[in-house]
Structure 1
Amino acid sequence: MVAVAFVLCLLGGLLHADDTLAAPPVQTYLLAAVGSAVLPARRRAPVATVVATTLCGMLAAPLGLLVTPLLVAPAAISAYSLAVRTGGRAAAAVLLPSAALLVAVTPFFEADFSWEDTGRLLTVAASPLVAAVFGRSARHRRAYLAAVAERARRAEESRESEARQRVVEERLRIARELHDLVAHQITLANAQAVVAAHLLDTRPEQTRTSLDELVRTTRQALDELRGAVGLLRQPDDAATSTEPAPGLSQVPALLETFRRSGLDVTISESGTASPLPPATDLTAYRVIQEALTNVTRHAGGSSARVHLTWVRDQVAITVTDTGDASRPRSGSPPGYGLVGMRERVTAVSGTLSAGHRPEGGFLVSVHLPLPPTAVPTAAASDGPTDSENR
């Protein structure tokens, strides 16, 4: 850039006041050398560089040189750098006086100055201003490219964050599924093994029945675990199960498995039942399954009751037991049953509450919303219906 500015100044010195071309005088070399020598400082001190190159341009007329746009090339270059590195108002505050000073002294030192030379001086004054316009455009373009790069970087970070979040959510989903699939069967198997061990000495004839139930339960647990792990190993487009997801229609069979393990459980229902979306239906099934599993684990010897209440916009599920759930059985550490139930219920916009009852036992209450198409249409005057199945 220093060499280019020096050559441009020398080319500007070729034109003399009598409109002839001749070799540049010595003062042209001096002016070009001084004006170009300060240009390397235009990045660190752009304002000082503009002032210095402007002073060099003002010395052209006193040195007897014809002031031309090429002769003030260092001033135009420094004006470009100032516009690139400073704001618009600051650049204008420096460049407008600089452009005026470049030509202010010329009429006093050019002996044959006439109004015909006004166009030439206007071109000289406009040179740094035009350079500043290009510098401002370059500044805006750099800012735009930087903003685009920043948005791309943030978008990439957002994609990575979303990918990590999806991985965490998938791990939680897998953990819930494995817990719901296996914990139920293992808990039943443990209860059946305890019954078999208890009956081995007192009622040997019933021991085989308990052992048969234990074998059936463990085999079902292994099948469900094998199916779940098999689905996880398949590609996303192939990981589809041929069996329908469990729902409230499978609750009677679920209760039967608990009864065979020794839990006295009943179910009742009020209101008009309606079809549930698959996710809500699965959630309702898993809540009942996990609540009864907790009864078997932590309140052995008690009875349990499941009640479903259907209203216009929701279905309420309550599972109560008569045992003392505040004193878990020995060897039954606290697990993640309630945590998993709450996550499932929240995922379908439902609510869950659980706690000890004042009269004893434990209560799990869940409210699941019904879609508009599944709102019961039974008249309010008909009143709720109650049915109980054992």
Structure 2
Amino acid sequence: MKTQNLINLVKATTLSLGIFFASCSNESVDDIPEETGESTKLVNKYFKGDLIQVEDLGNGTLKWGDILFDEAQLSDKKIQFDALAAPNQGIDAKLGLASRVRKWSNNTIVYILDNSLSSRQREVTFDAMDEWINKTNIRFKERTNESSYVTIRNSGRNCNCASASLGVQGSRGTINMGVRTGIGVMTHEIGHTLGYLHEQNRSDRDQFVDIFPENIQDGAISQFRVDNNSVNPGRFDVASIMIYSSFTFSKNGQPVMLEKDGSRIPFRSTLSAGDIAGTNQLYPSDTGGGDTCEGVDEWVSGQQYNVGDRVTYQGFLYERDFSGWNRILECDTPVIEDICEGISEWSRNGSYSVGDQVTYQGFLYELQSNRRWSNLGRCGN
């Protein structure tokens, strides 16, 4: 998230709202995350066209620092992403739904509190939620029968650390809390669940901070990569909740990142002004229009769109997400039933034929003759 950067870095498929926070981010600057690399098996994957090193957890989940990817969000080969593509562009079937990072519908994170959580962890969770609720348009709802939700669990690790799924991941979304996880760390992890990466990954970061690769732990260097696919014309936000401290992932007690004037970057525990403005840009308040095409402009070829922008295209209403367009509904057609009723969830191991339909992270897809999935609209409530 970010100051005015976050607002703009939201542009088109920009996930680069954030920064990386280590797999064991700590609120104390003197508390250094444990080593990564020697005992951790890392594999190379592509995310948004760039190569990163992730830990394969063996259950369809891949871990990059404190970010948890569904394996369908990554790919084994480089995919060129076209930020200006028309709304009806499909997704390559043989690559699953690679690189898709989704917002939460209706500005609302749906969650389950696992029985493993201690009373303290529950209190920290609600305090972190309040930070977002009191300052942004984000809301939270305990799950009843929603198909997409995040489960908040106790990882059992005796640390002020946590990890979180990136964006909506259907029923697979997770936030894993350490025994000593504090409010700042939990607020940061909710940022990942909203779809935000880390601030130091922004393509303009070298104008504001210096990175010291010689001090970074083995296996963690890819967490400081520059995301060249993002459009972030705004100002870099060194105060963002999503930024690393100067010592996150240090291997020798020396800083891994400093401001240009040599100042240390402390751990952040509250949302910055940029975080607030950026979140409200990405998750705008309801303007009263609801799910309707009325008053929504037609998509314009070559125009840059921000996350959350809506357009009409070939008779349908679309909304811009972090990495593509989501079809919301057909214009002038009232939604009276759940289009996903009776349709099975997409499976990474499934074999599909042209015309097959699946649900994925709250949307209905159909496999086209060109072997690409077409988004047919959002599932009903």
TM-score, length basis structure 1: 0.22
Q: Indicate the structure (1 or 2) with the bigger Cα radius of gyration.
A: 1
Higher relative contact order (CA 8 A, sep 6+): 2
TM-score, length basis structure 2: 0.22
